[in-house]
Structure 1
Amino acid sequence: MSKIYTKTGDNGSTSLVGGTRLPKDHIKIEAYGSVDELNAWIGVLADAPENVSRKSFLKEIQDRLFTIGSTLASEEEYNKSKLPELFESDIEVLENAMDEYNEEIPPLRSFVLPGGHTLVSQAHVARTVCRRAERQVIRLSHEEEVEPLIIKYLNRLSDYLFVLSRKITQEQNTEEVAWKPRK
């Protein structure tokens, strides 16, 4: 039986797919680490009994996030043919889901605060982690080439998670918490 721990990261570094070692606080590691965190939050959403009807859809999102993470965790020179790919159709799937939800939920009249139901709040946490991952991937793209579809997918996914939070609000018969700035 192999052990999960290697002790090779005890000095604060980790290996990319391909073997190069980087400090664990390198932007590349931060970027795919945030994608991994986002994947965990999508798992929390997928496992909620209220999301049973969209569990397989959320699992597909997790698969796309694993694809993104594996791409980001690889050296630029690593043979990309060994890695799964992201497609424009993956983004279209998110857009179609948002379009469907938007036909069913009331129009947005104000900014909304995360809350009203635990699952709504969890969708908002996933959305904000997604935005952080997107920012980190954009920052990484200033240092090395990043597949543009990754940034586009993360951008669209954060939109999807916002619309999903609103759809869950409706499904749970919970009132949206409108932001009312004090005067």
Structure 2
Amino acid sequence: MGNRLTQIATRTGDDGTTGLGDNTRVSKDSPRPHAMGDVDELNSHLGLLLCEPLPQDVRELLIDVQHQLFNLGGELSIPGFELLKDEAVLQLDAALAHYNAALPRLQEFILPAGTRAAAQAHVCRTVARRAERSVVALGKQEAARETPRHYLNRLSDLLFVLSRVLNRMDGGDDVYWKSERLARGADKDVD
């Protein structure tokens, strides 16, 4: 593949616009750049998660997800273009079924906590949800395929499941929300 980036600082965005892959320019605060930015941020957070000690199968899965998110970013940058395939959603469905099968049923909500890797997976999950909302917002303004929305929805679910898997590494567990603490705390706040 040839060199795609020859110059990083072009100054063309100084006017508050950004260039899309089809050579059109749009405002940086329009829905498409928002969606592109949220997907890029998610990919960056996954890169940070990949700095943690992870099981090799989880590492390989997340690296594949990074490539798929790059495809999604490319698709978002070119209106009407398709890069993210339906098969990518099916791969997430299979991973969800695989990792969720080994986990105990939840009896209560869990906190986005535990090990550093699990907490980072929760950060990725919340950014995936934001990226999904951005893609939904874009779809309300312009014609958009369902696959990107489905992919981000499944990915956020998978990241939740992986956070539980990562908390169990080395004998750990989920950090459960204790609703009675909320009730006791509310009593103390009343004057």
- State TM-score, norm by structure 2: 0.86
Q: Which has the larger radius of gyration?
A: 2
What letter matches 2:42 in structure 1? L
**Counterpart contact for 2:164–2:173, Cα < 8 Å:** no
State the match for 1:11 in structure 2: 15
Deviations 1:125-155 (A, max 9, x none): 0000000000010011011011111101110
Number of residue pairs the alignment of both structures matches: 177
Inter-partner Cα distance in structure 1 for 2:28 and 2:138? 14
- State TM-score, norm by structure 1: 0.90
> RMSD in angstroms over aligned alpha carbons?
1.6
State the match for 1:69 in structure 2: 73
Task: Please state how far the C-alpha of 1:88 moved relative to its aligned partner.
Answer: 2.4
Deviations 1:69-121 (A, max 9, x none): 11111134xxx3xx6x3222211211111111122111111111111111111
The SS at the match of 1:109 is coil
The SS at the match of 1:49 is coil
State the match for 1:127 in structure 2: 125
List runs of 5+ in structure 2 lacking aligned partners: 184-191
Task: Please state how far the C-alpha of 1:31 moved relative to its aligned partner.
Answer: 0.5
- Correspondent of 1:149 among 140, 147, 150: 147
List runs of 5+ in structure 1 lacking aligned partners: none
Q: Which structure 1 residue ranges, 4+ long, deviate > 3 Å from structure 2?
A: none
Inter-partner Cα distance in structure 2 for 1:133 and 1:178? 26
Greater shift in the superposed pair: 137-146 or 39-48: 39-48
Greater shift in the superposed pair: 91-100 or 118-127: 91-100
The 1:12/1:115 distance shift into structure 2, 3 A limit, reads same
State the match for 2:172 in structure 1: 174
What's the % identity of the aligned pairs? 40
